[in-house]
């Protein structure tokens, strides 16, 4: 009798698969309304998101490089070209400021419009905003998951993931699937989420 009364006071567990999305620490993930909107629309009842991944922050490296080079040039101009300092510095700020903003926006837009999700049933990949490209592969069709990382990829934790389907080395026209994902943040952790299912 006492156990039944205790059980009556326990909160009911939610069956909403979207509300609970355990993620592997270290993945560059964004689970807001904009970040996972496509995945939320295609998720099926009872399907659970195991992990959602993102492109690596190294997409912003060109913008960071433009900013650093611009600051170095401004410092040198301020030190050695005092007579032309206002005009030269203004020109440098304008050129490298525009390059930094354009490069940063391009990287952010690519990062924002790319979604990668691993559920208990499939792998979902989406890229693009107006011209959208999507790929999916059921978990039972996954044959192997390969990760390629360069030296820089090992240092900054990004790489390329190749998901090979069963029955072939790659993707065929009649069997759509995910063949290659580039510039993925924490690719080893994402691969482990696919392997351990």
Task: Look at residue 8 and tell me if it is in a domain.
Answer: no
Strands 133-138 and 122-127: antiparallel
Q: Which tens digits make up the pLDDT trace of 3-57?
A: 444 444 433 333 333 333 333 333 433 333 344 478 778 888 888 888 888 888 9
Residue 167: per-residue pLDDT: 60
- Is 2 inside a domain boundary? no
Residues 48 and 64 in one domain: no
Q: Are residues 127 and 187 located together in one domain of the fold?
A: yes
Please indicate, yes or no, whether residues 159 and 119 belong to a single structural domain of this protein. Answer: yes
Asked if 182 and 165 touch (Cβ cutoff 8 Å), the reply is: no
- CATH number for the domain including 129? 2.30.29
| 78 lies in the same domain as 170 | no
Helix, strand, coil percentages (3-state) for the chain, rounded to 5, are: 40, 20, 35
- Whole-angstrom Cα distance, residue 119 to residue 116? 10
Query: Could you tell me if residue 128 is inside a domain?
Result: yes
The sign of the dihedral angle between the CA atoms of 98, 129, 48, 140 is negative
Q: Please indicate, yes or no, whether residues 49 and 141 belong to a single structural domain of this protein.
A: yes
Query: What's 12's DSSP letter?
Result: P
Residues 121 and 160 in one domain: yes
Please indicate, yes or no, if residue 45 is contained in any of the structural domains. yes
| 86 lies in the same domain as 173 | no
pLDDT digits (tens, 9 = 90+) for 115-150: 888 888 888 888 888 888 878 888 888 877 888 889
**101 and 140 part of one domain:** no
Q: Where are the alpha helices (DSSP H) in 53-149?
A: 61-80, 85-112
State the average pLDDT for the chain: 74
**142 belongs to a structural domain:** yes
Long-range contacts of 153-162 (CB under 8 A, 24+ apart): 153/187, 156/56, 156/57, 156/58, 157/26, 157/56, 157/185, 157/186, 157/187, 158/56, 158/58, 158/183, 158/184, 158/185, 158/186, 158/187, 159/184, 159/187, 159/188, 160/184, 160/187, 161/187, 161/190, 161/191
- Residue 179 belongs to some domain of the structure: yes
∠ CA 190-109-159, nearest 5°, is 30
Give pLDDT tens digits for 146-171: 888 899 988 988 888 888 777 654 44
For residues 133 and 126, the answer to whether their CB atoms sit within 8 Å is yes
Same domain, 46 and 121: yes
Domain match, 129 and 88 both = no
Asked if residue 95 is part of any domain, the answer here is yes
User: Can you give the residue range of the structural domain that contains 100?
Assistant: 60-108
Q: Are residues 122 and 48 part of one domain?
A: yes
**If we measure between CA atoms, which residue out of 150, 143, 149 comes closest to residue 161?**
149
pLDDT at 182: 84
How many domains are there within the chain?
Answer: 2
Question: Is 1 inside any structural domain?
Answer: no
Contact 172, 156 (CB under 8 A): no
Whether residues 85 and 159 fall in one domain: no
């Amino acid at each position: 009798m006492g156990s039944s009364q205790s059980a009556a006071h326990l909160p009911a567990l939610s069956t909403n698969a979207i509300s609970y999305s355990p993620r592997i620490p270290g993945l560059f993930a964004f689970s807001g309304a904009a970040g996972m909107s496509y995945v939320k629309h295609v998720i099926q009842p009872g399907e659970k998101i195991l992990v959602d991944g993102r492109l690596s922050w190294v997409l912003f490296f060109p913008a960071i490089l433009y900013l650093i080079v611009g600051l170095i040039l401004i410092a040198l101009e301020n030190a050695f070209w005092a007579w032309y300092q206002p005009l030269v510095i203004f020109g440098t700020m304008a050129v490298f400021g525009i390059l930094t903003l354009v490069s940063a926006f391009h990287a952010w837009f690519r990062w924002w419009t790319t979604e990668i999700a691993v559920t208990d049933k499939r792998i979902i990949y989406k890229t693009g905003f107006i011209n959208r490209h999507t790929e999916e592969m059921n978990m039972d069709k996954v044959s192997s998951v390969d990760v390629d990382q360069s030296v820089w990829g090992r240092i900054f934790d990004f790489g390329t993931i190749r998901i090979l389907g069963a029955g072939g080395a790659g993707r065929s026209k009649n069997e759509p699937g995910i063949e290659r994902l580039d510039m993925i943040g924490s690719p080893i952790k994402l691969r482990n989420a696919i392997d351990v299912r």
